[in-house]
Amino acid sequence: MEDVQVVAMLVRRCIAGDSAAWEEIVQTYNRRIYNICYRFAGSGDDAQDLTQEVFIKMYRTLPSYDHTKGAFVTWVTTITRNLLVDHFRKSKQDRMTDSMDTSASDHEDAQPLSEQIPDQSAPPDAHVRSREVGETVHAALAKLSPELREAVILRDLQDMDYREIASVLKVPEGTVKSRINRGRAELARLLQRTYRQVM
Amino acid sequence: MQCNEFELVLTDAIDGVLTGTGLDRFQAHARVCKACGPLFAEAEAGRNWLKGLTEVEPPASLVNNILVSTTGVDTQRLRVTARAPQPRISWWEHVQASLIESLLEPIWATVRQPRFAMSFGMAFFALSVGLTVAGVKPNDLKQVSLRPSAIRHTYYATQARVVHYYENVRIVYEVESRVREIKRNVAPAEPSRKESRPAKPKDDKNDTTQQPEQKQERNYSQTDNHLILASAPVGPSPSVFDWSNVDPSNPDLPVVSVTTYRRFV
């Protein structure tokens, strides 16, 4: 967990023009933001662009951060989530209606999801199989609706508590829990359907 | 337990924070409810799938790109530059490098352009045609002496030639003669003042003609309005002068006094 005072001091130094403090913030949070963007956008290139945009927006709006209103990580995640939603609206992607044969992301070498199902009968290597499973889950995650996807990403991948997620998504905690449950269940159904097709 | 209550505690049950009677009631509902039972199973499976996902590694250039796009500082390049040993160069090499970069590079970049080559070719062609028309031959240039005295001599000779040519131009000659006439017409008031001054014996060493200066006489004789009266002593006229009476030992010629009266109009 972040130390509130340390982060507040870092932000103050940043606002005062200390480039070393800003570099420290970038070094600390770039991995987290990149992962959120990658899981939400589904593409490595998009994630890189979005991460840069998040930091540019953060750099410009850093003076508006008030540490008494919430944790810095929540503020950063809120910026990231808002930018991702904007990106989603601009790209007009409706993954809920996509078929399972469409390309999921650049990281899967543009193969259809049905072709990325791991061959359980003869796994060549456990590591490779694990990686393929991960790619399958990532592709299935991209099929979820944005509301469900962002909820499960923040909860299961970023380990945020429900109150923080509610703060980021600006919805009640009950809604957050409901979205998480529905997101998890939807993901499981997508994966079950995929494996059933292979079997 | 109702289905809506079941959904509210579903996350707690999956997170493992639901204990005691709440957990018992939850499990009992999951066993009997056809909608909530599968939901619990699917939600738990979905969570397990997601927990299996590992964190992806961001690209190595991401941090640098972020810093460049935000602060404009390329820290990676700065680090590499700071780490790399800088070769020592002398101040002369530094000056040469800066001169080459600042002066010669732009000139060379301009020279390399096709339009400049075309212009240079046209200028050379025009120069060669001009020299040919002027009669200048390259062989003549070899014989040109570049000594200072020779250059000075060439300069004065050329200047004299130009002046001579200029003064021989018809229109210049006519203009000069008109100017002289105007001066003559304007000048007549001056001689009275000259006469009032005592006549100074003129010792003009440069005058080799031994003749009196007749400039003024010539001017006066040009007008008919001038009346000149002369008086001579009684005796034989100069035209019938008897040269036989002249004493050879005294070769002085007889003095003839002439008085002129000038009347200026």
| A15 and A87 together in one domain | yes
- What is the value of pTM for the model shown? 0.51
What's the rounded Cα separation, in Å, for the pair B221 and A81? 120
Same domain assignment for residues A104 and A184: yes
- A197/A99 same-domain check: yes
pLDDT tens figures, A14-34: 888 888 888 889 998 999 999
Are A89 and A102 part of one and the same domain? no
Is A39 in the same domain as A67? yes
Domain span at A35: 1-93
Residue B99 burial class via C-beta count within 10 angstroms: exposed 0-12, middle 13-18, buried 19 and up: exposed
Q: For residue A81, which of A57, A97, A65 has the smallest C-alpha distance?
A: A57
- Within 8 A of B66 by CB-CB distance, chain A residues are 26, 30, 51-52, 55-56
For residue A183, pLDDT over 90 is answered with yes
pLDDT on residue A96 = 47
CB-CB neighbours of B256 under 10 Å: 11
Higher pLDDT, B253 or A169: A169
pLDDT bucket at A166, cuts 50 / 70 / 90: very high
Q: Per the CB < 8 Å rule, is B58 touching A59?
A: no
- Of the residues B15, B53, B69, the best mutation for testing chain A's interface (the one with the most A CB atoms within 10 Å of its CB) is B53
Three-state DSSP class for residue B72: coil
How long a stretch of residues is chain B? 265
Mean pLDDT on B116-131 = 89
Domain ranges of chain B: 3-51, 56-85, 151-187
**A25, A58, A93 - which closes a domain:** A93
Confidence of residue B36 (pLDDT cuts 50, 70, 90): confident
Determine contact, residues B40/B13, Cβ cutoff 8 Å. yes
CATH code of the domain in which A7 resides? 1.10.1740.10
Contact predicate A112/A101, CB 8 Å: yes
A85 compared with B78, residue with greater pLDDT: A85
Task: Name the residue among A197, A192, A3, A4 with its Cα closest to residue A101.
Answer: A197
pLDDT range class, residue A109, cuts 50, 70, 90: very low
Comparing CA positions, the residue from B145, B141, B117 lying closest to residue B131 is B141
Sign of the C-alpha dihedral computed for residues B146, B147, B148 and B152 taken in this order = negative
Mean pLDDT of B247-265: 55
Q: Which of A178, A181, A190, A192 to mutate to test the interface with B (most CBs of B within 10 A)?
A: A181
Using a 10 angstrom Cβ sphere, with 0-12 exposed, 13-18 middle and 19 or more buried, the burial of residue A28 is middle
Contact A185 B46 (CB under 8 A): yes
CB nearest to B52's CB, from A48, A55, A133: A133
- Nearest CB to A177; choose among B11, B42, B58: B11
Q: Which two tokens stand for residue A76?
A: 């950063």
Residue B263 has pLDDT above 60, yes or no: no
Dihedral of alpha carbons A110, A112, A117, A121, sign = negative
Band (pLDDT 50/70/90 cuts) for residue B203 is: low
For residue B193, the model assigns a pLDDT of 52
What rounded mean pLDDT belongs to chain A?
80
DSSP 3-state assignment of A112?
A: strand
Residue whose token pair is 């979005």: A50
Q: State phi, psi for B221 to the nearest 5 degrees.
A: -70, -15
Residues A107 and A79 in one domain: no
Instruction: Write the pLDDT tens digit of every residue in B148-182.
Output: 888 888 899 889 988 888 888 888 888 988 999 99
Token pair, residue B87, equals: 């070769």
> Is there a single domain that holds both residue A199 and residue A122?
yes
CA distance linking residue A127 with residue B250, whole number of Å: 154
Residue B11: its chain A contacts at CB < 8 A? 162, 177, 180-181
Same domain as A106, residue A88: no
| Closest listed residue to residue B73, CA positions, set A32, B81, A11, A64 | B81
Comparing A140 with B86, the larger pLDDT belongs to: A140
**Residue B42 at interface with chain A, using a CB cutoff of 8 Å:** yes
What is the band of B3 on the pLDDT scale with cuts at 50, 70, 90? confident
Which domain-ending residue is among A29, A58, A93?
A93
Residue A73 shares a structural domain with residue A99: no
Q: Are residues A45 and A115 in the same domain?
A: no
Q: Is the pLDDT of residue B208 over 50?
A: yes
**pLDDT-based confidence at A185, cuts 50/70/90?**
very high
Residue A15 to residue A62: CA distance in whole angstroms: 7
Last residue of a domain, one of A93, A127, A151: A93
What's chain B's average pLDDT?
73
Contact A137 B52 (CB under 8 A): yes
3-state secondary structure of A103: strand
Instruction: Note whether A34 and A9 are same-domain residues.
Output: yes
Domain count, chain A: 2
pLDDT in tens, B52-108: 888 888 888 888 888 888 877 655 554 555 555 555 667 777 777 777 767 777 777
Residue A84's closest CA among A146, A16, A25?
A: A146
